[in-house]
Amino acid sequence: MVVAARKGGVTGSPLTSSPVSITSTAQPGFLGGWLSRIPLPRWAFIAVAVAVAILFLLFLICIIKCCCCKKKPKKKERVGLLPFSSSTMANLVQPEMEDLEQGTEQKWRGKLQYSLEYNFRAHELKVGVKQAADLKAMDSGGTSDPYVIVYLTSDTTKRYETKVYRKTLNPIFNESFTFQVPQAEVPESTLVMQIYDFNRFAKHDIIGEVRLPLAKVNLQHVIEQWSDLAAASKVEEEQLGEICFSLRYVPSTGKLTVLILEAKKLKRMDSHGLSDPFVKVHLILNRKKWKKKKTSVKKNTLSPYFNEVFVFEVPFSQIQNVDVVISVWDHDTVSKDEPIGKLSLGCRATGNQLRHWSDMLANPRRPLAQWHSLQPPDLVDKALGLKSHLKLPLTSR
């Protein structure tokens, strides 16, 4: 029995100890038992847990940012509804006001005092350049070296200049200039006074200008006034004049008729304020000068009347390749004739010139007259792409 008991104790002791070991492994609970069933090592669980935590934090950060962004506009809207005397509103507006003040200072160029007097008997316009004040500083030392250029848009070749005054923003000029302007042309002219900063070693910088259309000025009495300087125009559009002519083309006979009627408001080319104009008509075929005719010379006038007709034979097969160049010249008996302005018509033309040419082709045998503005000769030659005699054979291929 004792032996049996000992055997039983020996055999029984494992039975009593095994439940204890089972309960000790079951202590982590349901989560531990669930995790024990997944065939993954412990470091994998840790890595997954860290990744989940990071994603969760990022999600929270995104939610916080979205909430803050949505709230900021509401605060701005509330600030915008506050009364104008609010300090918060003043703080928000003040930087913008400073920017506006800086912009105003940058735009400010100064002012100019001048006088105008027109002599109706002598047809003379006397322009007095008195003084300038509060000019914009153009030099590094905070000053400028100003002088004034005066001219009329009706004759940009005749310009007057004042003396240069060194290192000042308030120069006193007290100089006067006289222009010969017929009374009929006064309303069509604009007086331009430009103030420049003199620079000995570089291009002179323009400070500002005053443009005064004479049509808006009462010249019955002497005028003396101040005007603020404005930004100068980038390009001075020189008025060269206008010309009226008609075109007629008959396809069956291949005859192109050009009738030069009249011109007006031509640019003054002579010292006495007039010109001796005449008109040349060139036919250009494949960028090569082909045929040429010209009118008679009209003496001492800016509004000549010609009424002269020229007939050219142009086959219908070549009419698409022909350019008609009409140029107005000033005749000079002593020196070389000078071009006043040009224009070209043809299939390569643009604007009114192309429209006039297209109307002529669309209405055969019918003369069509039209006014055209003259253009600078060099621009017309460049647009036509005229070649020198050495290069002409290359364009005929």
The series of mean pLDDT values per 10 residues for the chain, 397 residues long, is: 44 44 47 61 75 84 70 42 38 42 61 94 93 90 91 80 91 93 87 89 83 90 92 68 94 94 88 85 85 92 93 91 93 86 88 87 92 87 64 35
Dig out the tokens for 130 from the structure.
Answer: 């008195």
Structural domains of the chain sorted by starting position, each given as residue range(s) with its CATH number in brackets: 111-228 (2.60.40.150), 242-384 (2.60.40.150)
The C-alpha atoms of residue 390 and residue 175 are separated, in whole angstroms, by 53
The reported pLDDT for the residue numbered 168 is: 93
The C-alpha atoms of residue 204 and residue 221 are separated, in whole angstroms, by 35
Cβ(162)–Cβ(175) under 8 Å? yes
The reported pLDDT for the residue numbered 386 is: 66
Query: How many Cβ atoms from other residues are within 10 Å of residue 76's Cβ?
Result: 11
pTM: 0.47
Only one residue has tokens 């350049």, namely 129
**Cα separation values, 335 from 141, 270, 274, 297, 330, Å:** 48, 12, 16, 15, 11
The C-alpha atoms of residue 383 and residue 346 are separated, in whole angstroms, by 12
Q: How far apart are the first and last CA of the chain?
A: 136
The C-alpha atoms of residue 199 and residue 26 are separated, in whole angstroms, by 98
The reported pLDDT for the residue numbered 31 is: 54
Closest residue by Cα to residue 186 from 242, 244, 127: 127
**Cα separation values, 17 from 14, 27, 29, 347, Å:** 5, 16, 20, 114
The reported pLDDT for the residue numbered 62 is: 79
The C-alpha atoms of residue 329 and residue 166 are separated, in whole angstroms, by 43
Closest residue by Cα to residue 297 from 279, 310, 319, 272: 279
The C-alpha atoms of residue 364 and residue 253 are separated, in whole angstroms, by 11
Dig out the tokens for 347 from the structure.
Answer: 């299939």
Closest residue by Cα to residue 278 from 238, 203, 330: 330
The C-alpha atoms of residue 394 and residue 397 are separated, in whole angstroms, by 6
